[in-house]
Amino acid sequence: MVERTGKFLLIVAASVCFMLILYQYVGPGLSLGSPSGRSYPEEPDLFPTPDPHYVKKYYFPVRELERELAFDMKGEDVIVFLHIQKTGGTTFGRHLVQNVRLEVPCDCRPGQKKCTCYRPNRRETWLFSRFSTGWSCGLHADWTELTNCVPGVLDRRDSAAAKAPR
């Protein structure tokens, strides 16, 4: 009889401990009310009014962020990839030439950092990036340098490709 009572008390004690632990972990997520019967107001808004000293430097309208552009790879469109240091640009640029499923995939030869990315119907490049053209406009060219440099580099490449014997 004493043996049964000991097992019963052990089961009751274990159940109470389990319920306390369960209440401690699950209870805060439930809205069970407060133990004293008083209800607390909802969490206060951390930023009730905008900071008058904060001025938006860049404003992007929603219509600009959600616009869709048609890229014609078989036409004359070119993607110019602006590489910015310390932003994962190297990984993304490599992804553009190695992992994107295209009609004519970029030709990446082992041991070389540059890949040739030609359009499906002719030997012209559709991607202007570090991994497709190299550092044609200088090391880590910014937007201004790329804007001034890219048209000339593409014209030189296209004229050289047109002059080359087939």
The yes-or-no answer on residue 140 being catalytic is yes
Query: In a 10 Å sphere around its CB, with 0-12 CB exposed, 13-18 middle and 19+ buried, how is residue 106 labelled?
Result: buried
Which are the contacts of 114, defined by CB distance < 8 A and separation ≥ 6?
131, 132, 133, 134
- Cα dihedral: 18, 21, 22, 26 (round 10): 180
Contact 98, 78 (CB under 8 A): no
pLDDT, one tens digit for every residue, the chain (166 residues): 667 788 888 999 999 988 888 887 776 656 555 555 555 566 666 656 766 776 767 677 888 888 888 888 888 888 888 877 777 777 888 888 888 888 888 888 888 878 888 888 888 888 888 777 777 887 777 787 888 888 888 888 766 655 544 3
Domain ranges of the chain: 79-161
